Structure 1
Amino acid sequence: MKTNNRTNPFIILFLTVFSLSCLIPFWLVFMVSVTNEKDLTRHGYSFWPNHFDWEAYRYLLHDSANIARAYGVTITVTVIGVVVSLLITSAMAYSLSRTEFPYRNALSFYVFFTMLFSGGLLPWYLVYTRFLHVQDTLLALIIPGLIGGFNIFIIRTFFTNSIPPSLVESAKIDGASEYRTYFSIIIPLSLPVMATIGLFTIVSYWNDWFTSLVFINNEKLYSLQYLLNKTLMNASFLQSIANKAYSNTANVTQPLESIRMAMAMVAIGPLVFVFPFLQKYFIKGLTVGAVKG
């Protein structure tokens, strides 16, 4: 039987339109970041500005040393947090996936309960400041995002549906310990779901600014997102002061909207380079463990 290997042109058209719909917002954000503030006020957003203005990036360049330091803090927190989070989350998910684990149901209910209810902001703050004493340290940025109930259940479902119990039994017969089985068999077979949860965790750590707001007073430990947010707030404050001071004489404007978009371009850069390497595992990691084979 002869098969037709030609790709349907409608599929190509659909994928082209879908790709453009994903790329166009990035282009628009970049164009707004290099647009003169007066043109933005007068004409709004455009895909090609009438006058290019790099004032927003020059404004951020004045704070380049702090931005570079914040990049280092965020990258350090993200790398350590992702590695430790994947280790703890996958270990707990592996325990919950084993039917012979004695407290499996009680622990699963406990994890599920944390997805529905939380202790509240004040107890959360007191635990980290009065008991753990991690304020103004990198641990304050790492510990809160280590474990998530949703991630545990995704990995547990993958282990349950995608890794045959007979494989674990064979490892036991060959004399492998639980640790040897976990690190030598389970982890290598779980790269799709590990990459998927790793991507979730990377985005969570990278976009986190609230933890810095609550626990960090040392400027050298500011995360990138919090520093950019604080920079924007300072620019807005200076703009309001300038408007009050020069309300009767001249119109003094700072590129607030351009700064906001320039910050978005600065903050999103590393994630754009990381995502293509994990994309091939992303869909597989979510779907393989979700359907019983």
Structure 2
Amino acid sequence: MPKLPTRPALHEQDWVSYDGKVMPYQKWLPGTTKPRGVVIAVHGLSGAASDFWFLGATLPKDGYAVYAYDLRGQGHDPVLNQRGDIGSSVQWLRDLETFHLLVRRQHPKTPVFWYGESLGSLICLHTAANRLNDRRDPDGIILASPVAGLKMTVSHFRRWLLDTTAALLPRTRFSLGDLAGVDESKIQVTSTTTHGGQMQKTEHHISSFSVRLLSEIGGLLDENPDAAKRLRMPVLFLASPNDILSSPDQIQRLFSQIKSPTKRLLWYNRSYHLLLHDVQRAEVSLDLFRWLEKTRTKR
């Protein structure tokens, strides 16, 4: 008899997605019995749920629950040979949608917001756009260090080569430094640390990624304008003009393409890509709380 698929479920420290994939997650709950709202946080490339410890240390004090799950294909994927790889970006989108519904079940009639950082911002943007205003939509999305484009210009030939390699040799791997043609120790991610230095401190660091994964991220970037035009829920951008990935013009352009009637863009001029790990993280957290409160009360 064929094995029946495992149903999605939220356990104490791990959860089961739509296809039976089991991944870890973390949660930080307020002391009150019923949260004022819930924030689901989605990390970036080579990141982890633990990256959101600062939100977990601040928002619950103001009555908000924070849930953060580890992305499949990243450093806490229990299947070691799948780390640094993804079959399709659709898996990321369906994971978020599944996790969202599981958290909603835990907190019925409580507003739920998504906080996506870097790659997580792409996942939040495209998942929200694809839901087409389902009644179980998130009540708002926060795109932190949004990947609105790439400062590094990728030629048509280089992109063709990447896509072709992804189709023929999908598990071929490159480091971010190889792809960008730069020394990772010189990629500034906070005002005091570089990508190379930061990754040496994290046990979930991934040194290289499959061309299939990189090509899937490129596909999401290509579809950013169309996804932005389909959004209708409130949207908050948290951005730095010093971001290593996207220029201020690219971020401003994506923000202008958002069709949500309620949207806001905040800049943090003394910070870099990892806003929650930089010198203005307290400002980021306070601005986020104020936006959550304003958005929650207007539901």
- Does the alignment reach a TM-score above 0.5? no
Query: What range is the shorter-chain TM-score in?
Result: under 0.3
Asked which structure has the greater CA Rg, the reply is 1
TM-score (norm 1): 0.23
Name which structure has the greater RCO, CA cutoff 8 Å, separation 6+. 1
Is the helix fraction higher in 1 or 2?
1
TM-score (norm 2): 0.22
